[in-house]
Amino acid sequence: MSAPTRVLVVGASAAGLATAEALRRKGYGGALTLLGAEPHAPYDRPPLSKQVLRGDWEPGRSRLRAPEALAALDADLLLGDPAVALSPADRAVRTASGRELGADVVVVATGVRPRTLPGQAGLAGAHVLRTLDDALALRADLLAARRVVVVGDGVLGAEAAATARALGRAVTLVGPQRAPLEARLGPVPAALLARLHAEQGVDLRPGAAVRGLAGRGGRVTGVRLASGEELPADTVVVAVGSAPATEWLAGSGLRVDDGLVCDSRCRAAEGVYAAGDVARWHHEGLGGLLRLENRTNATEQAAAVAGNVLGADRPYTPVPFLWTDQFATKVQVYGVPAPEDVLTVVEGDPAGGRFVALYHRDGTATGVLGWNMPKQARAHRREVADALSSPSPSPAPADR
């Protein structure tokens, strides 16, 4: 394909903006359009469950770039107008407002949408947490709440529970695992997280299946468990995972299967690429398809996509990196460890609340866990990077 002169990026958030910036940084001087469904200029999501929800930051501080930096990008920023269809053959995108946009290259960066529970639609006091508007609505309810139930014991649910507790609310965290994040971190770190939450006063309900929400007069009143028990609540945070925002690609002929499926260059078809949470691409080091939902990947994959759009033809083989803040504890994970991998502490001491541990499977390093030791954890990243740089036949577990 000859050098593109018109690039359209769909999704104006972390990965979309980073793609546009990387294109300009790498010398792309052609037309550039950034199309976003939300009305807001690009903003960052990690602070939404932490600083913004706690009220430590005013909402505007989560924006990703100042207006001058956005203007310097020399891109058409079309906001509040979701794409509704893509024709890959001619890279034509139709939007909800009826715009017809054409390009040589389309980059799909539409992220994910939160899943919801039966009975949740239209119920006041029942919240998901994905957008800035979600965070502000949840914060307003949390300030008045007496009893908060967080449904979902993954990264987002545990963060939301910690923040609600930090705001002084009575908080119950309910989920199917034996301890928060067990499927992600394995049993030992998950047990430490459970202890941390319990010490901070979170009421943990592990191993519980949630059937749905209960409400009266249009407002949530509780969470129904499969056991028949009902946990009373005036505010509920539903953090039960997410689904890639790919419904607008239905009928495009592109392969959609838990994300937009791409080759090792993050290319879904000639002239169509994907970056960020929505992209499920072939990671050559892991020898399988991988989709990551983390902030670092949004930026790194965007840079890789921009390079490939401009002809670099390089596989994207990152060492996945995730961080999460739970109360004052900062956790970092490099690699894609499976919960059953063997965990060995290599620095510090879990009893002291600061340590670094390595995950191994069949003698190969699969991950690094940092617990309040970010610098030291980063120093061990190399061990995972070496293992990921050689092609492997083992399947890659999915991220978040």
* CA 163/CA 154 separation, integer angstroms: 14
Closer by beta carbon to ligand FAD, 82 or else 88: 82
Which residues ranging from 126 to 165 are in contact with ligand FAD (CB under 6 A)? 129-130, 156
Nearer to ligand FAD, 35 or 117 (CB): 35
Interface with ligand FAD, residue 274, by CB under 6 A: no
Determine the Cα–Cα distance for residues 30 and 17; give it in Å rounded to an integer: 16
Which residue in the set 196, 245, 303, 358 belongs to the binding site for ligand FAD (CB under 6 A)? 245
Decide: is 233 part of the binding site for ligand FAD (CB under 6 A). Answer: no
Binding test (CB under 6 A) with ligand FAD, winner from 23, 28, 33, 36: 36
| Number of alpha carbons in the 13 Å side-chain half-sphere of residue 333 | 27
Window of 107-115, 190-198, 266-274, 366-374 that interacts with ligand FAD by CB under 6 A: 107-115
* Nearer to ligand FAD among residue 40 and residue 211 (C-beta): 40
CB 278 within 8 A of CB 110: yes
Residue 318 Cβ vs ligand FAD, minimum distance, rounded to whole Å: 13
Q: Is 10 in the site for ligand FAD (CB under 6 A)?
A: yes
Among 8, 13, 120, 186, binds ligand FAD (CB under 6 A): 13
Q: 352 burial class (0-12, 13-18, 19+ CB within 10 angstroms)?
A: exposed
- Whose Cβ is closer to ligand FAD: residue 233's or residue 260's? 260
83 binds ligand FAD per the rule CB under 6 A = yes
Q: Is 192 in the site for ligand FAD (CB under 6 A)?
A: no
Binding site for ligand FAD (CB under 6 A): 10-16, 35-38, 45-46, 48-49, 82-83, 109-112, 129-130, 156, 245, 248, 276-277, 293-296, 298, 322-324
